[in-house]
Amino acid sequence: MNKKANVQQLSVKMPDTLEPVYSNMIRISHKDDEFTLTFLHRMPETNLAMGRAMVTITPQHAKRLLRALTANLQKYESTFGEIRLLEDTEPKEKSNVEVV
Q: Sketch the domain layout of the chain as residue ranges.
A: 21-80
Mean pLDDT by 10 residues, the chain (100 residues): 70 94 96 98 94 97 98 98 86 66
Residue 10: CA count within 13 A, CB half-sphere: 4
Strands 97-99, 25-31: pairing kind: parallel
**What's the order of all strands across the beta sheet hosting 34-42?**
49-57, 34-42, 25-31, 97-99
In the chain, DSSP finds a helix count (H) and a strand count (E) of: 2, 4
Tell me how far the alpha carbon of residue 91 is from its chain's centroid.
23
- pLDDT at residue 86, rounded to an integer: 84
